[in-house]
Each structure stands twice: as C-alpha cells, then as structure tokens.
C-alpha cells in the first residue's frame, strides 16, 4: 500500500468528536499533502455524512475506488451500504468488512492516511492494527470523567500493542474552564491542542479555516 504515514484517531468513548476532528485534520493536511480517510466505524460511519458524499463507490476490477472531496480520498461503509441500512453483524463480519475496506481500496500514492476509529477497544481495533502498520495514534477526549476513564482503557490497549501515541486533543465542546490534564502529564502524553465550541465544527463547514487544526497539522507534518 503506497502510503507514507498512517495515523489512527480515536478513543474508547463515543461522542467525543473523533470523526469531526479527523475530517478537520484531513482538510488542513490536504492543503500541503496527499491525504486519505479510512472510516473504520462500520456500525456508525460518519465521514460520508461530514463530507456530503451521497453516491456509491465505483468498483473497478473488484477494487473499490474511494470517493474524493476537497482533494481527500475517502472510504466509508456509509457509501457502500444504503444510507439508512444498519450493519447488524457479529464480530467476524465486522472484521471482514474492515479488511475489505483496507485491502480492496485503491488509494494510489498518499502522504497520510487518517483512520477514523470507532469507539471501544475490540474487534475493529485488533483488525486495523493487524492489517496496517500504524505509525501514530492521536487520542481525543472531552473533559468529563467518563471520557477520561475510557481514555485510560485506550492507552492501556495501545501500550499493550506497542502503538506509538503522538498526543491527545482536548475537545472542549462545553467550554469548560481550567481543565485538569494531570492524567495525561502523568502518562507522558503530549497535549496537541484544544478545540472550543464552534458552529463551523458543529456541522462541519468544509471551507472553515480552523487555526487550531492548522497548528496540529504542523505538529503532524514536523514528525515526518
């Protein structure tokens, strides 16, 4: 797979903004680099919604051609299943679907592939980490204790699997003051940046020039 760097973005906690931040980072990085997004959330794909992709992927010689928006190549189960369909699948079918998206997609040459990970720490993570060499993982969290608790589970899993953690992003959607990041400091995890609530992010304005995202993108690109 001709991809220079693969970065997974996630948290065991759902609803912390993984998909929106993945999309924002892709939009920022794509100004300078060739970027793709793999939406690995089979049960609740979001990238097709965020990028307003409403057509099915073309299949050429049994290979999946990713959709393209704003110069970003995107593959999501949301463009393979019908929009309202639910993937009511057991673990082996979930893993099989992820493998197909990984191995049958024609990415061409990419500088970065960003993986929008689902919540949890189960089959989807194990499949992605087995099929791909993940260069770095970015943690996403909100300020509440549930998100922090689930982040600890994510960190434990990543360290057991020897996945390098680039840092964490604080998604401060409730504009909480004086966020205590001692948990991350004690775990020696760098703070990459903080998002405050913004209507341009709420429903993702694809033309939004997000300054904090640009800052984080520079950190990502400086690590090459």
What pLDDT digit, counting tens, does each position of 161-220 carry? 999 999 999 999 888 888 878 888 888 999 999 999 999 999 899 999 999 999 999 999
**Domain assignment of residue 193, given as a range:** 3-222
pLDDT at 13: 83
pLDDT at 87: 54
What pLDDT digit, counting tens, does each position of 64-100 carry? 999 999 999 999 887 876 555 555 555 577 788 888 8
Cα–Cα distances (Å) from 193 to 187, 205, 218, 219, 220, in that order, read 17, 20, 11, 10, 12
Split into its structural domains, the chain has a count of 1
CATH code, domain carrying 130: 3.40.50.300
**Among 52, 46, 51, CA closest to 16:** 46
Examine the pLDDT at 224 and tell me if it is beyond 60.
no
């Amino acid at each position: 797979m001709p991809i220079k760097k693969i970065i997974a973005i996630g948290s065991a906690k759902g609803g912390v903004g993984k998909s929106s931040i993945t999309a924002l980072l892709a939009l920022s990085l794509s100004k300078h680099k060739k970027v793709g997004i793999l939406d690995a959330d089979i049960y609740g794909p979001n990238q097709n919604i965020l990028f307003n992709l409403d057509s099915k992927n073309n299949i050429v010689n049994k290979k999946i051609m990713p959709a393209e928006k704003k110069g970003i190549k995107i593959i999501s189960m949301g463009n393979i299943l019908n929009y309202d369909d639910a993937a009511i699948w057991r673990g082996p079918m979930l893993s099989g679907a992820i493998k197909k998206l990984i191995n049958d997609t024609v990415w061409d040459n990419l500088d970065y592939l960003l993986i929008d990970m689902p919540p949890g720490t189960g089959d989807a993570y194990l499949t992605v980490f087995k099929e791909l060499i993940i260069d770095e993982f970015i943690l996403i969290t909100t300020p509440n204790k549930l998100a922090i608790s689930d982040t600890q589970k994510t960190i434990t899993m990543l360290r057991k699997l020897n996945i390098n953690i680039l840092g964490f992003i604080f998604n401060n959607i409730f504009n909480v003051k004086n966020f205590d990041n001692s948990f991350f400091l004690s775990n020696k995890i760098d703070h990459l940046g903080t998002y405050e609530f913004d209507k341009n992010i709420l429903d993702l304005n694809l033309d939004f020039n997000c300054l904090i995202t640009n800052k984080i993108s520079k950190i990502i690109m400086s690590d090459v």
